[in-house]
Structure 1
């Protein structure tokens, strides 16, 4: 208990800039060892009043730099794949694939946060940190207005990412809860390639 009080007093004595640098450094320390990552997930989207708008669940895989695959299994199937250069969004029900260049700005592609680049993080976000038991939560506020989100929060449990939360300018919030987390698993390269099914309409988004 005395040690906790001493650490708390030390934290209060540090300038805010030092605390921000410490928070960014700790987040980088957690992210940098992550080269690959896989988990199941549950996603909830809430409006500004907290009303639940949408739920989804599925599986995801990540490989740095810039490769990821999200497979939504319910309530409607959907696949999002990045091969590091382009992102493919496949909607099986519509028999449609949308292709666009990967936006490498972390303020536009939250999945890239797991790339663990300290320079990108501190350049794009102001980082703060709070600890509650075994949970460490990092709140990231974009430094510029050119972003899809007003705030991002990453919560780690025993140094594993457990929750990613995002809020936009309308007050809508997205929360993604990760389960069955595996750090640095062996993931086949083909997981991050997408073969367009025959007969599928292809839309190339140039924006």
Structure 2
């Protein structure tokens, strides 16, 4: 399975493409720094959640399912029937399963933009992460991030609702400007979850964890 096929599975988490344009770090204003500090405090306080999700690809196609996220480094996305794909992150590895092709792909979570969000301690201005854009609209703040030295892996835009601050969406943009948008709804705090939830087991094999309960 190529990285581009895996990327298409969920939000273009990793990409094999030319270096992205316009990824220079943003010169942060005091207001920007205040927003980033608030977002970091919020993200670091949120250890886990469950949510339903809507994924919209650049071509307008949509997919839905259920998500579990737990920091550090754990995530599970189950797509609703009849879509059989499964994506699981845990223990430093991101696994994508496509039963139609009979293939399973694994890549390091650290090679994906979403690894920034799932870090043990979220630091959006660390040595390895750069803020490249901040936009503000009524009721919404967007922060675009890139891994320094790994710009070819894509940019990650975190979309937050305001008052109260809440992560509602992320957008990954590839080198050609194609975007995949993942929106979260029915978000509920949760965790800790059993480790088996983040260990890959092909759908239909309930020996590890039955997430439908």
Report the TM-score, using the length of structure 1 for normalisation. 0.71
Map of 1:189 onto structure 2: 195
Instruction: Answer yes or no: is 1:78 the counterpart of 2:78.
Output: no
Residue 56 of structure 1 corresponds to 63
Partner Cα separation in structure 1 for residue 160 and residue 151 of structure 2: 27
Helix, strand or coil at the partner of 1:171? coil
Larger radius of gyration: 1
Q: Structure 1: any 5+ residue segments left out of the alignment?
A: 1-14, 199-207
TM-superposition CA deviations, 1:139-161 (whole Å, max 9, x none):
32554453311x32211223221
Q: State the superposition RMSD in angstroms.
A: 2.9
Question: What is the TM-score when the length of structure 2 is the normalising length?
Answer: 0.69
Give the paired residue count: 176
Cα distance 1:60–1:197, how it changes in 2: closer, same or farther (>3 A)? closer
Conserved? CA contact 1:61–1:70, under 8 Å: yes
1:104 paired with 2:110, answer yes
Q: 1:76 to 1:118 in 2, by over 3 A?
A: closer
What 5-or-longer segments of structure 2 have no aligned partner? 1-26, 205-213
Q: How does 1:1-207 map to 2 (within 5 A)?
A: 16-46=28-58, 51-52=59-60, 54-74=61-81, 76-100=83-107, 102-105=108-111, 108-115=112-119, 117-119=121-123, 121-123=125-127, 124-126=129-131, 128-144=133-149, 146-149=151-154, 151-157=155-161, 158-196=164-202
Instruction: Please give the secondary structure, in 1, of the residue aligned with 2:39.
Output: helix
Q: Distance in 1 between matches of 2:117 and 2:64?
A: 21
Q: Secondary structure at the match of 2:110?
A: coil
Higher strand share: 1
Question: Which structure shows the higher helix fraction?
Answer: 1
Distance 1:188 1:135 in 2: 33
For residue 175 of structure 1, report the CA deviation from its aligned partner.
0.7
Work out whether residues 52 and 184 of structure 2, in 8 Å CA contact, stay in contact via their aligned partners in 1.
yes
Distance in 1 between residues matched to 2:203 and 2:85, nearest whole Å: 13
